[in-house]
Amino acid sequence: MAESVIEVNGLVKRYGDLTAVNGIDLEVKAGEVYSILGPNGAGKTTSVEIMECLRIKTAGQVRILGYDIDKQQKEIRKRIGVLPQSFNAFDYLTVKENIDYFGDLFDQRLDAEELIEAVQLQDKRNVWFINLSGGLKQRVGVAISMVNDPELIFLDEPTTGLDPKARREVWDVIRKLKSKNKTVILTTHYMEEAEVLSDRVAIMNDGNFITMGTPRQIIDQYGAGSTCVVKSANEAAKGAVKGAGMAFEIKDGDLWVKLDDKGSLAKLVGLLSSAEVTYDEILIKGSTLEDVFLKLTGRKLVEVEQ
Amino acid sequence: MKPKHVLVDLRAQSKTFFRIKSNLFWVFAFPLLLIIIFGAIFSNLGSETVTLNVQDLDDGPGSFALLKGLNQTGMVKLRFIDPSTDLEQYIKDNSLAFVMVIPANYSDNLGTNTTATVELRMDETVSTSGTVYNVVNAVVDATNIQMSGGQEYVTIEVKSIVQKRFTYLDFFVPGVIGLTVMTTCVFSMQGTISRFRAAGIFRKLATTPMTPFEWLLSRMIWYLFISLLTLAIIMGFGILLFGMTMTLNLPALLLVVAGSAMFSALGMIVARFVKNEETASTAANAITFPMMFLSGTFFQMEMMPDYMQTIASVLPLTYLSQGLRDAMAYDNLNGAYWNLLVVGAIAIVFVVVAVLITKWEED
């Protein structure tokens, strides 16, 4: 069984009357990609910044790579890599110079060229950071977080504000980290990101973990099953579904029919076979972590501008 | 403390500094522009001659020879005042800066080998006063040599409250050096801290072995280097373009070192207490702008009302600029060391406060 690289028990962080983190427990095993998912203000960043030795906890016990966060911060800092939220490196240094800057601060470091290759920035190595796109900047950030060859890497919202293409490029880099057997803690408010990249996920809201497990376990436990989306369905289709007593919703002119069991799909297909019914296409949609979050909190896990 | 960490940061700073064009303008070109503009305005650059008003009470061969000699220099333009004019009133009414009075017995005295004294009334706050004195003095010397191989038959009596003969640039250039040290250090430090905080660089550095003290030390060393570079460039410019005679001595160097540390620390303190990037810049402006004008950079503090002089006496730039003037232009080493003492003491207090309050972990 893999060893625990993070052990958190009863972690609390208060700012005056505000409780940002309310007694969370967490255990992360070596080699895992573990996502902490939640909306802005949920307490994700505060929690990981305590684990990164950037904030002082109010209460609780935290051990990182076996070291006590209260007494052995120096040892922890040597062994972890951190990409802070909204991180921007030095604007007027090149990609390579930025990596070398942070690398030279450590006694043991990886070669800049090796890291540049890992994040696929070979053709940008001599470009100033300020002239890179958002996605490329985040890849530089990831490379910098790996510069001391850490066992554990914290990536705090590495894809916030990026376009879908750039986001997927960062995902590729995170997958590479996993393939190298690194443990990655990823905070995000993109449920798709957590679902695609993570071995395990903890969903956080108002300073508490409301559930944790593998994405599949969580969806199976709290998800609402599958939904059939009938695009541009006409009134006859809606009437047929309603008449059959099936649960449904109308969204933007589409008919969303809940599939409670295997038989309901066959039943729906039968209803849609009627000559009066017209529609453009039929899609089957499974439950997502977004649905789970909505079910557990009554709120949507939407991206809010920083 | 690991010197390697300081060197890593210094190397990055040197690359960054010279890659940002605006840095080169504000740190090097702007002070030179100031000197050119103010030098041109206050030094009468471009005018070929200085007007010397003459009241010739002698009107004899001696005064004729003296005036002819002055004319021949081509450096002064003579303008005559009627001998019967009430000179005091005339000077007042016409705001004259330079007046030479040739006494009634001037030619007679020369004829009997008796010393004759020419009275030269000058406003020393006018930058060309040194030129006028030198021209008159040269002509008088020539007269003496011509008459008897060195015996002084003609002397000048300068009537003045201030006896120093320095130009406006002698006053202004050390002030510009002080001003540049202040703006470079305060704005660079405040700007860097605000920017790094917003960019998450401090949060990143906090996860490395580099300590806040090592980072601060590196920054202060770099701003000191820039300050010394500025000093060299401004001095060289003043000497080459304006023919200034400025002294670079130990107190001048120590003043730049202490001034750089003092203002770097002030920039850190501002950035620590004002966290928003834009507000921090406004705060830095609010601190440096009054100092720029109240600390005697552009004009002498004696010209200011008493209450403003009182304000100036508590501003750090006052002591840095005055110390640099004493050291570099006025050859007043006692004054320079006194001002160095004040600047050094303020620098120690500021640096200690800055180091104590600077941390990059959050609460």
Q: Domain of A278: which CATH number?
A: 3.30.70.260
Which chain B residue has the Cα nearest residue A75?
B209
Residues in chain A whose Cβ is within 8 Å of chain B? 15, 49, 52-56, 74, 77-78, 80-93, 97, 101-102, 104-107, 128, 144, 148
- B57 and B20 assigned to the same domain: no
Q: Measured between CB atoms, which of B8, B199, B362 is closest to A88?
A: B199
pLDDT at A287: 82
Find, among B318, B279, B75, the residue nearest to B193 by Cα: B279
Residues in chain B whose Cβ is within 8 Å of chain A? 4-5, 8-9, 12, 15-16, 19-20, 198-201, 203-210, 361-363
Cβ contact, residue pair B208, A77, below 8 Å: yes
Q: Which of the four pLDDT bands, split at 50, 70 and 90, describes residue B45?
A: very low
ipTM, 2 dp? 0.83
Q: pLDDT higher for B302 or B348?
A: B348
Q: Which of the four pLDDT bands, split at 50, 70 and 90, describes residue B150?
A: low
Contact list, B206 vs chain A (CB under 8 Å): 53-54
The dihedrals phi and psi of A183, each to the nearest 5 degrees, come to -90, 130
- B256 and B209 assigned to the same domain: yes
Q: A interface mutation test: which of B207, B208, B210, B277 has the most A CBs within 10 A?
A: B207
B201 in any annotated domain: yes
| Average pLDDT for B196-210 | 91
A14 in any annotated domain: yes
A139 in any annotated domain: yes
pLDDT at B222 over 70: yes
A89 in any annotated domain: yes
pLDDT at B48: 54
- B80 and B198 assigned to the same domain: no
pLDDT at A274 over 90: no
Q: Measured between CB atoms, which of B206, B208, B362 is closest to A102?
A: B208
Mean pLDDT, chain A, integer: 89
- A187 and A274 assigned to the same domain: no
- A97 and A130 assigned to the same domain: yes
- B194 and B336 assigned to the same domain: yes
- B250 and B341 assigned to the same domain: yes
> Among A29-38, A258-267, B150-159, B248-257, which stretch is predicted with the lowest mean pLDDT?
B150-159
A292 in any annotated domain: no
Measured CA to CA in angstroms, residue B150 lies from B66, B154, B155 at distances of 16, 11, 12
- A229 and A144 assigned to the same domain: no
- B200 and B346 assigned to the same domain: yes
pLDDT at B194 over 50: yes
SS3 A253: coil
- B180 and B302 assigned to the same domain: yes
* CATH number of the domain to which A199 belongs: 3.40.50.300
> Among A187-201, A234-248, B58-72, B115-129, which stretch is predicted with the lowest mean pLDDT?
B115-129
Cβ contact, residue pair A54, B206, below 8 Å: yes
- B116 and B183 assigned to the same domain: no
Per-residue model confidence as pLDDT tens digits over B276-287: 777 888 888 898
- A188 and A233 assigned to the same domain: no
Which of B113, B138, B159 is where one domain is finished?
A: B159
pLDDT at B163: 39
- B221 and B105 assigned to the same domain: no
pLDDT at A233: 87
> Among B44-48, B199-203, B232-236, which stretch is predicted with the lowest mean pLDDT?
B44-48
> Among A199-213, B45-59, B346-360, which stretch is predicted with the lowest mean pLDDT?
B45-59
B235 neighbors B193 (Cβ within 8 angstroms): no
Cβ contact, residue pair B361, A56, below 8 Å: yes
- A215 and A80 assigned to the same domain: yes
Q: Which of the four pLDDT bands, split at 50, 70 and 90, describes residue B205?
A: very high
pLDDT at A13: 96
- A47 and A174 assigned to the same domain: yes
Contact list, A82 vs chain B (CB under 8 Å): 203-204, 207
CA distance B21 to chain A (A): 11
Per-residue model confidence as pLDDT tens digits over B80-120: 999 998 888 888 777 788 899 999 888 888 878 788 888 98
pLDDT at B171: 83
pLDDT at B31: 84
pLDDT at A231 over 80: yes
- Start-to-end Cα distance in chain A: 39
pLDDT at A167: 86
> Among A233-237, B74-78, B156-160, which stretch is predicted with the lowest mean pLDDT?
B156-160
- B113 and B255 assigned to the same domain: no
Q: pLDDT higher for B126 or B176?
A: B176
pLDDT at B281: 82
> Among A99-113, A233-247, B2-16, which stretch is predicted with the lowest mean pLDDT?
A233-247
- B81 and B140 assigned to the same domain: yes
Residues A74, A80: Cα–Cα separation, whole Å = 10
CA distance B195 to chain A (A): 10
pLDDT at A56: 92
- A94 and A165 assigned to the same domain: yes
pLDDT at B363: 53
B274 in any annotated domain: yes
Which chain B residue has the Cα nearest residue A51?
B207
Residues B165, B156: Cα–Cα separation, whole Å = 15
| Overall domain count for chain A | 2
pLDDT at B299: 76
Strand partners, A254: A251
pLDDT at B110: 81
* CATH number of the domain to which B83 belongs: 3.40.1710.10
pLDDT at B349: 96
Contact list, A51 vs chain B (CB under 8 Å): none
- A127 and A276 assigned to the same domain: no
Mean pLDDT, chain B, integer: 85
- A72 and A91 assigned to the same domain: yes
For tokens 């508590």, name the residue: B314
Residues B321, B303: Cα–Cα separation, whole Å = 16
Which of A204, A221, A238 is where one domain is finished?
A: A221
| Average pLDDT for A2-26 | 93
pLDDT at B151: 57
SS3 B168: helix
B118 in any annotated domain: yes
pTM above 0.90, yes or no: no
- Give the pair of three-digit tokens for residue B74: 């081509």
pLDDT at A305: 36
- B201 and B334 assigned to the same domain: yes
The dihedrals phi and psi of A181, each to the nearest 5 degrees, come to 70, 25
Residue range of the domain that includes B254: 3-42+167-357
| Average pLDDT for B321-337 | 90
Which of B111, B127, B159 is where one domain is finished?
A: B159
Contact list, B203 vs chain A (CB under 8 Å): 49, 54, 82, 84, 87
Percent of chain A clearing pLDDT 90 (strictly above): 52
pLDDT at B153 over 80: no
Residue range of the domain that includes A263: 225-286
- Start-to-end Cα distance in chain B: 24
B152 in any annotated domain: yes
| Overall domain count for chain B | 2
Contact list, A105 vs chain B (CB under 8 Å): 5, 8, 205, 208-210
A119 neighbors A81 (Cβ within 8 angstroms): no
